[in-house]
C-alpha cells in the first residue's frame, strides 16, 4: 500500500493528513526523508514521523456476505447504502477486493493488505472469479456458447472461461478478468434478466 495509506492504516493520520506529513518532510523511511507519495513501504522498511517509529498494521482479511442493495464503494454522494455501512467503523479503511453490482449478492473480501489484493485482482495473475447467476427464465442451449465467445461490457470484452448450467435458471460462470458489471453478461447476450 502507498505511504499515505500505510500511515492512515497505522492510525497516525487521515490519508489527507498523511499527505501533509509527507509533503512537510516529517516522514522518513530507513533514516531518509521521503516525499514520494507513491512509495510503498515493505515489512523491512522503518517508517518514522518526527523520529517516532510507525508500526506497520497487522494484515486484516474479512469475508463479507454482501446482500443485494449495497454498493461496493466507500463514499458516493448519490448512494445511501454501501458495504461499509455493514461493517464496524474500525474496518472502514479496508479496501474491497473486486466488487459486485448493487443488485448482486455474494462473498466479498476486504483487506488492508494491498499486495495481496493486487495479486487477486490484477489481470496478469489470472485469478478466477466465480459467479452464480439466477436468470428470470430457463437458459437457452446457446447461452453458454455466447458467454464463452465473449460479450462487450462497458466497452471491454468479457469472456467466460467456463460456464456450467446448475439448473434450468441457474448458471455458474467463471471469468479471469475483472470488468465492471461482468456478472451481468447474460443480459448482454440475450434478452435474459439476471435475478441476482
Active site residue ranges = 101
Are the C-beta atoms of 109 and 96 separated by less than 8 Å? yes
Please tell me the distance from the alpha carbon of residue 53 to that of residue 108, in angstroms, as a whole number.
33
Query: Residue 167 class from Cβ within 10 Å (0-12 exposed, 13-18 middle, 19+ buried)?
Result: exposed
Spatial distance between the Cα atoms of 47 and 54, rounded to a whole number of angstroms: 6
Instruction: Report d(CA 29, CA 164) in Å as an integer.
Output: 50
Amino acid at each position: 500500500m502507498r505511504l499515505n495509506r500505510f500511515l492512515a492504516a497505522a492510525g497516525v493520520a487521515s490519508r489527507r493528513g498523511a499527505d501533509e506529513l509527507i509533503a512537510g518532510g516529517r516522514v522518513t523511511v530507513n533514516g531518509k526523508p521521503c516525499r514520494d507519495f507513491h512509495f510503498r513501504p515493505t515489512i523491512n522498511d522503518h517508517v518514522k514521523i518526527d523520529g517516532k517509529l510507525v508500526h506497520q498494521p497487522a494484515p486484516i482479511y474479512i469475508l463479507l456476505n454482501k446482500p443485494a442493495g449495497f454498493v461496493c464503494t466507500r463514499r458516493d454522494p448519490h448512494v445511501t447504502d454501501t458495504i461499509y455501512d455493514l461493517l464496524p467503523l474500525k474496518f472502514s479503511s479496508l479496501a474491497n477486493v473486486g466488487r459486485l453490482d448493487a443488485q448482486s449478492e455474494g462473498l466479498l473480501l476486504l483487506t488492508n493488505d494491498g499486495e495481496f489484493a493486487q495479486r487477486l485482482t490484477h489481470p496478469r495473475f489470472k485469478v478466477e472469479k466465480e459467479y452464480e447467476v439466477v436468470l428470470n427464465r430457463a437458459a437457452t442451449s446457446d447461452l453458454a456458447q455466447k458467454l464463452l465467445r465473449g460479450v462487450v461490457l462497458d466497452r471491454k470484452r468479457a469472456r467466460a472461461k467456463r460456464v456450467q448450467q446448475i439448473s434450468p435458471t441457474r448458471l455458474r460462470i467463471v471469468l479471469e478478468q475483472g470488468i465492471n458489471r461482468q456478472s451481468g453478461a447474460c443480459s448482454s447476450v440475450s434478452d435474459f434478466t439476471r435475478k441476482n
